[in-house]
Chains A and B, each alone.
Chain A
Amino acid sequence: MATRSKLSWLVPATITGALIPFASIAWRLWQHRLGANPIATALNQIGLLSLIFLCASLSCTPLKIAFGYNWPLRVRRTLGLCAFFSAVLHFLVYLVLDQNFALGVVLSDVLKRPFIALGFAALVLLVPLALTSSKRSVARLGFRRWQLLHRLAYLIGILGVLHFYLRVKADHTQPIVYGLVLALGFLLRGAAKLKKSRAMRLRASLRATHPGSA
């Protein structure tokens, strides 16, 4: 309980911090400081923010595994919801400002262009996760089922990185870096899981060979 009250500022600080780049984009848009093609700049920056939030949310568990920190787990949901809201905003900027509500064009883009299809799939898959992000949903679904559903986040992360990678014309450094962040997280998760199952098997075999000692 002590740590709980000590970190009461963490989630509000994360939400406030997450809003700052959006305020900055809105301010620069207003001040005509987003360059000659402000819609493209806003679209790209908001999309990138969504991927950053997604990678950050998916890095909480690996941080706990690698360093034993508990605080990342307390912002994991907040970061995931930030990823969802940024993804929605990214799509709205594309639909409304970039394509001027040309639903036919947007639909054919989604069907015909792999990079848009991947990004759209990520957005659609984020919806059930956002809808079941509350503690009540965990109780309603049961932890196992809830956890299974929320493993979709791994797939969404991969889709997000591919969406970015396929969009870039020549310099793939940034999408590769985000991909590596995700990959490192998956590696740490895998290693932790392996260790855990090994320990369990060892305990089971100890129990079998030395009954009563474990």
Chain B
Amino acid sequence: MRNPPRPPASSEITAPELYARRREFIKSGALFVGTSAALGAGLSSLSNLGSADPPAKPPPLPPAASGAVPWRVGKRGDFAAGEAQSSYQDITSYNNYYELGFSKSEPASLGFRIKTQPWTLRVTGEVEHERTLDIDTLIRWFGLEERVYRMRCVEAWSMVIPWLGFPLADFLKKLAPTSRAKYVRFTTLLDPEQLPNQKSRALRWPYVEGLRIDEAMNPLAFLALGLYGAPLPGQNGAPVRLVVPWKYGFKGGKSLVEIRLQEHEPETTWSRSAPTEYGFYANVNPAVDHPRWSQASERRIGELSRRKTLPFNGYAEQVADLYRGMDLARNF
């Protein structure tokens, strides 16, 4: 015979008044869980607006252009003093491309919408012959070289990017500007089907940037068709963009459809939108603050501590002469 089960200790016995309220406990518990979950989800999504998570995996490398012209990389040059290159994932998932969305992550998820084939780049204005060029022609004429440049955003962060392309000076010499060509104007694609955020009116579209002709002829000014050895993904400005490494990143117009040579200084998108904050020159300058934040230091993407920002982003030796005698605090 087994012993009869021992009666439970009196401390384990539910008090009758609590037992009577068991339904209320269950109901309160359910309301607690439901409310905290709903509140937590609501708060998370509200605070995530405008900074949605980037894709977990890097986007696949896009296929080489049309295949008609092989992507053969000629010269390779390190113009960033051996500083570590930013990862392909970071370069292609943290972008300011307002036509694809105001957040840093939207451009990466919408970049595929830019149809780069066929693509035409018009060269207009003060040139011997106005022309319409396609990407294959550009590669055939100028070849491809790799240049590792620092990229300093006006928002005080920076990257090191291996671009693929050719010097803007080669391009301009071939197109033979007339003597009246004092400025170069760069225009981005205008097509809300491909660039959906052009439906927003926060900025005036198409995006326009510009350089003085002597800046454009400086050997560092670059037209990029690719990065990390492959064609540019949409979010980085496919299929052709401007790279001016001694200026803030916004000077580098993306997905260019027109390069115009002209006599007068072009009105550029950001200096039109906020003339006290973004000037025509936009040279990287630690001594001239953005009205709302300091430009003295920057965060290199991937690093924990800040680093000092260098005059002309470290390219003073090559470009400072362009601005001799100019008041750079006024011509910011």
Contacts and interface: CB of A to CB of B under 8 A. Distances in A.
Interface of A: 6, 8-10, 12-14, 16-21, 24, 28, 33-37, 39-41, 44-46, 48-49, 52, 97-100, 102, 105, 108-109, 112-115, 166-167, 169-172, 174
B53 A34 contact: yes
B30 to A, nearest CB: 9
Contacts of A48: 46-47, 49
B53 A9 contact: no
B273 A44 contact: no
B46 A14 contact: no
A142 B171 CA distance: 77
B51 A44 contact: yes
Interface of B: 28-29, 31-33, 35-41, 43-44, 46-51, 53-54, 56, 86, 89-90, 93-94, 98, 102, 104-105, 155, 157, 200, 202-203, 273, 289, 291-294, 296-297, 299, 301-302, 304-306
21 contacts: A8-B28, A13-B36, A17-B40, A17-B43, A18-B43, A20-B36, A21-B40, A21-B47, A24-B40, A24-B44, A35-B51, A35-B53, A35-B105, A36-B89, A36-B93, A36-B301, A45-B48, A48-B46, A52-B43, A105-B296, A169-B155
Given A13-B32, A33-B56, A35-B93, A20 B50 contact: no
B36 A17 contact: yes
Most buried by B among A37, A97, A172: A37
Nearest to A49: B47
Contacts of B289: 112
A102 B200 CA distance: 38
Contacts, number: 126
A200 B331 CA distance: 63
A170 B40 contact: no
A112 B296 CA distance: 14
A46 B47 CA distance: 8
A112 B89 CA distance: 36
B202 A170 contact: yes
The 10 A-B residue pairs with the shortest CB-CB distance, nearest first, are A20-B40, A17-B39, A36-B94, A16-B36, A36-B90, A9-B32, A13-B35, A17-B36, A170-B202, A13-B36
B292 A115 contact: yes
Nearest to B289: A112
A16 B40 contact: yes
A36 to B, nearest CB: 3
Given A16-B36, A97-B304, A105-B297, 11 more contacts: A14-B35, A20-B36, A21-B43, A35-B54, A36-B94, A45-B48, A52-B47, A109-B293, A113-B293, A114-B292, A170-B202
Contacts of B292: 113-115, 166-167
B157 to A, nearest CB: 6
A13 B50 CA distance: 27
Contacts of A36: 54, 86, 89-90, 93-94, 104, 301-302
Nearest to A113: B292
Contact of A174 (B31, B49, B98, B157): B49
A170 B273 contact: yes
A148 B304 CA distance: 44
A169 B40 CA distance: 28
B182 to A, nearest CB: 29
A182 B44 CA distance: 20
Contact of B306 (A6, A24, A99): A99
B53 A28 contact: yes
B35 A170 contact: no
Nearest to B154: A169
Contacts of A102: 306
A98 B303 CA distance: 11
A212 to B, nearest CB: 49
Contacts of A49: 43, 47
Most buried by B among A6, A13, A34, A99: A13
A41 B291 CA distance: 22
Contact of B157 (A18, A28, A40): A40
